[in-house]
Amino acid sequence: MENTLFVNSSPHIRSEVTTQRLMLDVIIALIPAAFAGIYFFGIRAALLIAVTVISSVGFEYIIRKVLKRNNTIGDFSAAVTGLILALNLPPTLPIWMAIVGSLFAIVIVKQLFGGLGYNFVNPALAARAFLVVSYGARMTTWIQPLTKATAVDAVSYATPMGVLKGGGELPQLIDMFLGNIGGSLGETSALALIIGGIYLLARGVISWHIPVVYVGTVGLFAWIIGPEGIFTGNPLFHILAGGLMLGAIFMATDYTTSPMTKKGIVIYAFGCGLLTMLFRLFTNMPEGVSYAILLMNVAVPMIDRYTKPARFGGKAHV
Amino acid sequence: MAEKKTKVSVLLNGLLNENPTFRLLLGMCPSLAVTTMAKNGLGMGAAATFVLVGSNLVISLIRKIVPDKVRIPAYITVIAGFTTIVQMLMAAFLPEINKQLGIFIPLIVVNCIIFARAEMFAQKNGPLLSVLDGIGMGAGFTIAITIIGSVREILGAGTWMGIPVTVNLFEPAVMFILPPGGFLVMGLLVALFNHLTKKKKEGNGLECESGCGVGCPGCSKAANGGEA
């Protein structure tokens, strides 16, 4: 009869959710975007996805062995990082550069800082930033989607964000929604990304706050700071262009690098949106989603500190 | 400072145990800024070593004359004197490197390695030991920033000391010769250095002079002095 009373310390509420299951959900949610990338950019996109996923898992295995830590490839987090990285790359990137990207994401950003849960920025995004700085020309060589190909061979082609900066004819909004535009492998099809996002919301993997506030902020500033003066912008163009959907749904929502409280999350997502628009409109870079998220990632510990909830009966922090 | 300083240990101190860059983390500004090429690292290290040896010698000679209250201005004057000499020498004989290093040569005046050694060593020791300390520290600094420069140059430009190494094999990652690459390589090398030297220490048994009271495993002194 002694065992009927069970005394232990908190936490008392347990959940069946495991890291493995969460990561599997993210992979499932990314499948539409991955297929959209393969559909629009051909077999080369599939090759890039395969290479980054396999090399990421491989590097995770090797570095854990080298650091004499337990093996963590079973939690699929490395596969998710590899997949997200692939979706952030231009379809023409040389294979070995994609492998260097995986190396940077897994070994330097993730494992040397302690592994899953300790990385201070999103590994896939950090790897993207590393590749953009290191191989600028390669990382900004875009091709036409196959569905639009007029030339036999792939020619360089401007993304909607590039058109906005460099001039030219802006694509149709419906093409931007479906993904029939130039850009990174997995960022072009807003439709596929939204399907994945809805799956994640339904599974309870992410909450609506980050994507909605992030996209909303971008839309708001796009409308306010329009090309012909205040309140003349087209919010839909900025929402559908570039890597915003991919960033808002899959990268800004990374648990490790987003704040813990709802209030913090709203500040964080607003900051991402504001920085994205600042980069897009006022710098010489065409796209700013990746740097915006990276910068807000770094600010997360500070946001967490100032949004710490007061304990019951205690004084509020700050 | 209980252990007796031998000439050899003072000389070697700057290379490993108290390597200014990898262990004391002093002089970070030039270590990060000028190490885009191995050659720059070597030039910067040589210039700093010259100033370090000279200022250590002079400061150890004047340490008993200079009143404590005005020692910092006095040391700055000495260090600035040697920095001016080295700047003029480099401008005359190595104009190429001098141009590359630019402002960082005059900035040796406020290099914290030189200050730290003046305060921590030359002020308390005789001229011979101080010169040896200057040589050791200077060599440690030179070796460290040359290593950082080599890694960055090979990865970021595909050359070493200006000679093509890998530049024809694959595209070098430009990031390594940009500021973020400096921080990255620096951090990785410090980690590697700590990892390698830690292993060595564990092999010889922990050196614990007085017993710190923290109770690290393997430290017998702590077990006597501190509470378990």
The answer to whether residue A168 scores a pLDDT higher than 80 is: no
Report d(CA A162, CA A168) in Å as an integer: 9
Q: Does A207 reach chain B within 8 Å, measured CB to CB?
A: no
The answer to whether residue A306 scores a pLDDT higher than 50 is: yes
Q: Tell me whether residue B23 is in a domain.
A: yes
Instruction: Sketch the domain layout of chain A as residue ranges.
Output: 19-306
Report d(CA A100, CA A59) in Å as an integer: 10
pLDDT in tens, A287-304: 889 999 999 999 999 999
Name which CATH class applies to A19-306: mainly alpha
| A216 class by beta-carbon count within 10 Å (0-12 exposed, 13-18 middle, 19+ buried) | middle
Interface contact flag, B176 A112, Cβ < 8 Å: no
Which residue out of B155, B166, B174, B175 would a mutagenesis test of the A interface target, given it has the greatest number of A Cβ atoms within 10 Å? B175
Q: Tell me whether residue B92 is in a domain.
A: yes
- Domain span at residue B99 reads 7-225
Report d(CA A247, CA B88) in Å as an integer: 53
How close A275 comes to chain B (CA, Å)?
Answer: 20
Q: Is the dihedral of CA A20, A23, A29, A30 positive or negative?
A: negative
Q: What percent of chain A has pLDDT over 90?
A: 50
User: Which amino acid is it at A216?
Assistant: G
Q: Tell me whether residue B62 is in a domain.
A: yes
The answer to whether residue B53 scores a pLDDT higher than 70 is: yes
- Which residue's entry shows tokens 């990898």? B22
Beta-carbon count within 10 A of B29 CB: 13
Query: pLDDT value at position A99?
Result: 94
Query: pLDDT value at position B142?
Result: 93
Average pLDDT over residues A85-103: 92
What's the whole-model pTM score? 0.82
Instruction: Give whichever of A152-166, A259-273, B208-222 has the largest mean pLDDT.
Output: A259-273
Q: Which of B170, B171, B174 sits opposite A133 (nearest CB)?
A: B174
Q: How many domains does chain B have?
A: 1
Q: Provide φ and ψ at A159, rounded to 5°.
A: -80, 165
* Chain A environment of B196 (Cβ under 8 Å): none
Q: Tell me whether residue B1 is in a domain.
A: no
Which residue out of A111, A133, A134 would a mutagenesis test of the B interface target, given it has the greatest number of B Cβ atoms within 10 Å? A134
Q: Tell me whether residue B211 is in a domain.
A: yes
Report d(CA A183, CA A215) in Å as an integer: 19
Query: pLDDT value at position A317?
Result: 60
pLDDT in tens, A155-167: 556 777 777 776 6
Residues 86-125 of A with CB under 8 A from B: 96-97, 100, 108, 112
Instruction: Calculate Rg over the CA atoms of chain A.
Output: 21
